[in-house]
């Protein structure tokens, strides 16, 4: 097979955008079209002002500025992109279903199927179709069926190439990937994709498997990662009852080389677009195959995460004399983790919602998240009317102004800038007693207590 000269990627989101930018940067001889149905998103990807890119990721704007309109193009011309490319990545969203069979559990594959049908209709020559979206195991067989029904006299090869990047470190994760996983049956198609990645990664980091192992490995990796967080968060609750300190426990166990130090940071609970969705999907699959015990086992990871978010909000109410009615509570951070503008499933949304049920007045500040996004996140929960959300959630652009006359500050995201704030100045402007609830264990609690704060953190009594 000749080397691939043109790639298209359907879906210009948090995965499609950064992944294709890095691929284009490392393969200057390949033309890459990133297409999306969302016109506004494409307009922002093409914006002259790199601060306007729809995805915030450290290092992304620099790479985009080097390759955009050279060998990386963003557009809404999906059919043209399908027609032009020898290889097409499907990188559309696969959210949890909100209706019908599997509601609240299964992955909604309608966008993936729409892409497959569009590719099948438009294609006029051989195509390698790459599943980049995270998909339930055996989705490739459905995609293949759609192609097979077309009965065209050329070939569609389907590969699974799940993405392992984490938001906030996406560029580094792509440039220095621990591994790239390619599942498939067609050796030539696999080699074509290996060639693209080996432009910057050593071949031993490119793992090839059968297609079902590849699909399932992605769900498994996310389940294992999320399980670590739920495990450490479960221990954080016990620490709070016993006088043990969760950060000390994490350090002590993390030095065991079999456990390892990463992903042991206790927190207000994991968020993000992947962990919950992918585990629910895994649980659904297990139940589908009659594996009730396996399903229950993984479902507990989600239950523990819900518990952690609710526990944090309840602890805040309890500490503040069992009422937050009418009190000003400042949120530092709304994104689901630092260094991203993504808020999907962020713990902040659920903690805010619970406190708003108690009639608290939330004032939120995040370096990368706007008010519109926060309100959309809350309205997505459908827990109260929009006017009430606007009344109880205010937006702040200056963290010091936000703190004025506040009863409490809660850290919901671990943005580095929160650590370096002038906490004395913040304390002086707050109502007393001044509470700090550190949902990320990033602040110097001893120093805050010396200033006069009432401090409550995760996994510390
Ligand atoms: P996203 O919502 O940021 O982007 C998906 C994009 O696809 C959207 O812009 C949407 O408009 C577009 N789209 C949907 N249907 C389309 C269609 N028919 N034609 C053209 N465009 C269409 O989602 P994401 O975070 O980039 O995730 C994409 C996939 O990658 C998901 O399956 C996700 O599970 C997986 N994934 C995500 C991450 C992550 O960190 N976000 C990491 C690894 C894997
Ligand atoms: C995750 C996986 O890490 C990545 O491999 C996959 O491709 C997509 O899903 P992402 O959700 O972007 O990536 O970020 P991640 O760093 O995994 O963090 C997820 C959530 O867990 C965040 O809310 C984060 O704050 C939280 N977390 C992470 C903890 O609470 N403690 C930790 O030790 C690590």
15 lines ligand 1 (CB under 6 A): yes
According to DSSP, the residues that pair with 130 across neighbouring strands are: 89, 159
Q: Does residue 338 surpass a pLDDT of 90?
A: yes
Q: Rounded CA gap, 147 and 60, in Å?
A: 35
3-state secondary structure of 282: helix
Residue 123: predicted pLDDT: 95
Determine the residue of 270, 276, 347 to mutate for testing ligand 2's pocket, defined as the one with the most ligand atoms within 8 A of the Cβ atom.
270
Q: How many residues does the chain have?
A: 461
The span from the CA of 438 to the CA of 242, in Å, is 19
Q: Which helix (H) or strand (E) covers residue 461, if one does? A: none
Smallest CA-to-CA distance from 87 within 190, 181, 213, 177 is with 190
Q: Mean pLDDT throughout 116-128?
A: 95
Q: Which of 177, 201, 204, 206 is nearest to 191 (CA)?
A: 206
**Distance separating alpha carbons of residues 66 and 63, to the nearest angstrom:** 5
pLDDT at position 255 is: 98
Q: Are 46 and 40 in contact (CB under 8 A)?
A: no
Task: Please check the confidence at residue 1 and state whether its pLDDT lies above 70.
Answer: no
Q: What is the pLDDT of residues 397-443, one digit of tens each?
A: 999 999 999 999 999 999 999 999 999 999 999 999 999 999 999 99
- Whether residue 229 is predicted with pLDDT greater than 90 in this model: the reply is yes
Q: Does any ligand 2 atom lie closer than 6 A to the CB of residue 272?
A: yes
Q: What is the pTM of this model?
A: 0.97
How many whole angstroms from its chain centre is CA 360? 28
CB atoms inside a 10 Å sphere around CB 114: 14
What is the set of active-site residues?
163, 218, 274
Residue 317 has pLDDT above 80, yes or no: yes
Q: Which residue is closest in CA terms to ligand 2's atom 34?
A: 263
Quote the CA–CA distance of 352 and 365 in Å, as a whole number. Answer: 13
> Is the distance from the beta carbon of residue 247 to the nearest atom of ligand 2 less than 6 Å?
no
Q: What distance in Å separates the CA atoms of residue 185 and residue 129, rounded to the nearest whole number?
A: 12
pLDDT at 347: 98
């Amino acid at each position: 097979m000749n080397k691939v000269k043109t790639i298209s990627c359907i879906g210009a989101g948090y995965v499609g955008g950064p992944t294709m930018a890095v691929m284009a940067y490392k393969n200057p001889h390949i033309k890459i079209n990133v297409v999306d149905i969302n016109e506004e998103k494409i307009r922002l990807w093409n914006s002259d002002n790199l601060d306007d890119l729809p995805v915030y990721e450290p290092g992304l704007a620099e790479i985009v500025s080097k390759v955009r309109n050279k060998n990386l193009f963003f557009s809404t011309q999906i059919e043209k992109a399908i027609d032009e490319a020898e290889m097409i990545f499907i990188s559309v969203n696969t959210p949890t279903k909100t209706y019908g069979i599997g509601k609240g559990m299964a992955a909604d594959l309608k966008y993936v199927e729409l892409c497959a049908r569009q590719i099948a209709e438009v294609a006029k020559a051989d195509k390698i179709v790459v599943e980049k979206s995270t998909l339930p195991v055996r989705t490739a067989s459905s995609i293949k069926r759609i192609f097979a029904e077309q009965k065209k006299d050329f070939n569609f090869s389907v590969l699974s190439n799940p993405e392992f990047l984490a938001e906030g470190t996406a560029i580094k994760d792509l440039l220095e990937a621990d591994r790239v996983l390619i599942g498939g049956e067609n050796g030539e198609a696999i080699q074509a994709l290996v060639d693209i990645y080996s432009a910057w990664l050593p071949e031993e980091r490119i793992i090839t498997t059968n297609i079902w192992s590849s699909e399932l490995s992605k769900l498994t990796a996310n389940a294992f990662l999320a399980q670590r967080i739920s495990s450490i968060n479960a221990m954080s609750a016990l620490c709070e009852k016993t006088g043990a300190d969760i950060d000390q426990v994490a350090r002590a166990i993390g030095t065991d080389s079999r456990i390892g130090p990463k992903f042991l940071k206790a927190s207000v609970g994991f968020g993000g677009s992947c962990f919950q969705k992918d585990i629910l999907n895994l649980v659904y699959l297990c139940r589908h195959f009659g594996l009730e015990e396996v399903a229950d086992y993984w479902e507990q990871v989600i239950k523990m995460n819900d518990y952690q978010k609710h526990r944090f909000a309840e602890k805040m109410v309890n500490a503040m004399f069992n009422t937050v009615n009418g009190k000003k509570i400042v949120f530092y951070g709304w994104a689901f983790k630092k260094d991203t503008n993504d808020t999907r499933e962020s713990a902040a949304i659920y903690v805010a919602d619970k406190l708003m049920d108690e009639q608290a007045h939330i004032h939120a500040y995040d370096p990368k998240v706007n008010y519109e996004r926060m309100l959309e996140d809350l309205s997505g929960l459908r827990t109260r009317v929009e006017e009430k959300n606007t009344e109880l959630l205010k937006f702040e652009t200056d963290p010091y102004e936000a703190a004025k006359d506040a009863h409490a500050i809660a850290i919901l995201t671990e943005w580095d800038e929160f650590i370096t704030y002038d906490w004395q100045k913040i304390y002086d402007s707050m109502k007393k007693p001044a509470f700090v609830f550190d949902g990320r264990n990033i602040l110097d609690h001893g120093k805050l207590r010396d200033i006069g704060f009432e401090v409550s953190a995760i996994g510390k009594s």
